Amino acid sequence: MTEYTLTSPKWEGEIRLKYYDNGYLQSVDMPEVIDRKSAEYLAAHFPCHEVVLDWYRKETKVTITAIALDLSFDSFWETYNMKRGSKESARLYWDGEKKTINRRPVTLTDRQAIMSMVKRYTHRYQGSKKEFQPLATSFLHARMWEAELENTPRKSEFNLLNLFPKKLTHD
């Protein structure tokens, strides 16, 4: 999940957007005060997918700021939701003190990739499937986040930018 804030001189406060890992909008927090023209503009051109934010960056005066992921081990451990196995051993992998299967440590880039997909990954192991979820140490050691399944785009996704006009300005 990724989060962004949108700010503009046209409204007070910020709009906070949360997107699922597949890029589609999950939730929106709107400011308390927003003028009618901006509300109408947003309603007509709402960023329902992350790719639309690129269009916003280029075509409007809205400021878009990505909110950083929590890359702490404790956040990973809580989200991974497999409390068996050695927490300290998993922490050593997370911190890069133990090398993974390909003799490389877990890097900052790896931690970003892990945290962007770990919720979706662990969701597969709900209910009776929970017993088949790998231990966190195994997940980190084997670099399971790099599995092809996680990197394969869904066939049902399409380019949403084709739905938007080439030139439209937010005054």
- Domains of the chain: total: 2
62-101: per-residue pLDDT in tens?
888 888 778 899 999 998 988 888 999 999 999 999 999 8
Name the residue with higher pLDDT: 64 or 161. 64
Residue 157, domain member (yes or no): no
141-155: per-residue pLDDT in tens?
999 888 744 444 454
Dihedral over alpha carbons 153, 156, 157, 159 (to 10 degrees):
130
* 95 and 137 belong to one structural domain: yes
* 30 and 13 belong to one structural domain: yes
Residue 167, domain member (yes or no): no
pLDDT of residue 162: 56
**The domain containing residue 112 runs over which residues?**
73-151
* 46 and 104 belong to one structural domain: no
106-158: per-residue pLDDT in tens?
998 888 888 878 887 888 888 878 888 899 999 999 998 887 444 444 544 44
pLDDT of residue 166: 54
Residue 141, domain member (yes or no): yes
* 54 and 99 belong to one structural domain: no
* 61 and 83 belong to one structural domain: no
Sign, CA torsion 111/113/119/124: negative
* 80 and 51 belong to one structural domain: no
CB 141 within 8 A of CB 92: no
